Amino acid sequence: MGTKSTLIKVTPQDYDKMNKEVQPKPKVLRNCVMALLVGGGICLGAQVLINLMFLGLTSGMESLDEASVLAKQKEAQTLGTVCMIFLGALLTGLGWYDILVSVGGAGGILPVTGFANAMVSPAMEYKHEGYVLGVGAKLFSVAGPVLLSGTIAAFLIGVLRFFF
């Protein structure tokens, strides 16, 4: 910062105060409700999908022991997650996911569909700059920090678990 003497009779300190006064107040309650509805809706859809997958995977099976139920459940969850990633990518490609997030905020960012959005949107954006230096170099421009902090957190928890 640095400004030589000004004609305006306001100091940067006064100005900061004025700026705080005029800041529009976000509608916190409304935003929370929308985040709950959008995020909850995405998760509900995913759960329905997983349950259907499980029914499909186990249909025709006569008797199931506990271990194979667990194995099939895991399989259904993986398939469900893959489907949600696909849906997130598809909606991003159609140009709808950013609208969903503008309404639902964190409700749209946190689920895995949001992560798909964070990967697909740079891929679309930088396509015109080439596949190596465009898409290749900038694909992780949004998701990169998330992946890095996730990896570091996993490493730290792994170290803790090793010792305790």
Partner 1 sequence: MNKRVGQYTVTFQNPPEIMGSYCVTGPKEGQGPLNAYFDHIMPDTYNGEKTWEKTECAMMEMALTETIKKGKVTAEEVNYVLAGDLLNQISTSNYALRQIGRPYIGMFGACSTMALCTAMGAMLVDGGFANRVLCAASSHHDTAEHQFRMPTEHGNQRPLTGQWTVTGAGSLLLGAGAEAGIGAGAGAGTGSGGGSEPKIRVTSATLGKIVDFGQKDANHMGAAMAPAVAETLLAHFYDMGTSPEAYDLIISGDLGSVGLELMKKVLDKSGFHSLDTVQDCGCLIYHTHQDTHAGGSGCGCSAVVLCGYLLDRLRQKDLSKILFVGSGSLHSKESLLQGESIPGIGHAVVIESE
Chain contacts with partner 1 (rule: CB under 8 A): 1-4, 6-10, 12, 14-16, 18-19, 22-26, 31, 92-93, 95, 97-98, 100-102, 105, 108-109, 114, 117-118, 120-122, 124-126, 128, 141-142
CB of 63 to partner 1, least distance (A): 45
Tell me the C-alpha distance between 146 and 150, whole Å: 6
104 burial level (CB within 10 Å; 0-12, 13-18, 19+): buried
What's the closest the beta carbon of residue 26 comes to partner 1, in angstroms?
6
Q: In terms of Cα–Cα distance, which of 150, 138, 56, 58 is closest to 112?
A: 150
Q: Which is nearer to partner 1, 103 or 154 (CB)?
A: 103
Would you state the structure tokens that stand for residue 21, as one six-digit string? 């006064």
> Of 80 and 107, which has the nearer Cβ to partner 1?
107
**Between residues 4 and 161, which has the closer beta carbon with respect to partner 1?**
4
* Full DSSP string of 102-130: HHHTHHHHSSHHHHHHHHHHHHHHTGGG-
Nearer to partner 1, 80 or 114 (CB): 114
Least Å distance between CB 48 and partner 1? 22
Neighbours of 23 (CB within 10 A): 7
Shortest Å, Cβ 149 to partner 1: 18
Alpha carbon dihedral 149, 116, 107, 24, in 10-degree steps, equals 80
Closest distance between partner 1 and the C-beta of residue 8, in Å? 5
Phi, psi of 80 (to 5 degrees): -60, -45
Cβ distance to partner 1 smaller for residue 51 or 141? 141
